[in-house]
Amino acid sequence: MEVKIGVQNAARELHIDTDETSDAIEKQVAEALAAGGVLSLADNRGRKVVVPVDKLAYVEIGHGTLGQVGFRS
């Protein structure tokens, strides 16, 4: 699952590829927002991304585009 996180006052968004389901990620985001602390997500390689929830602009959850090569006509 691909997760894109927009952070306030940051020019680039964070991209995370994870094995979690979209429901599990959505639950983690909702719990972090309710608690008012930080959102912590782990990627496929075991790295963690931690973002303070008061700096979140958006969280986009969707499927990645693995294997997409070439030009479209």
pLDDT digit string, tens, across residues 15-48: 999 989 999 999 999 999 999 899 999 999 989 9
Tell me if 73 is assigned to some domain. Answer: no
Residue 39 lies in a domain: yes
pLDDT of 73 higher than 60 = no
Is residue 69 included in any domain, yes or no? no
- Identity (one letter) of the amino acid at 71? F
In the structure encoding, which two tokens stand for residue 13, read together? 């968004």
Domain count, the chain: 1
pLDDT category at 63 given cuts 50, 70, 90 is confident
Tokens representing 42 are 């782990």
pLDDT of residue 69: 62
Given a contact cutoff of 8 angstroms between Cβ atoms, the answer to whether 61 and 1 are in contact is: yes
Structural domain of 45? 2-62
Provide mean pLDDT across the span 45-63: 92
Enter the pTM of the model.
Answer: 0.79
Give the rounded percent of residues in the chain with a pLDDT score beyond 90: 73
Cα→Cα distances 62→3, 5, 9, Å: 6, 12, 23
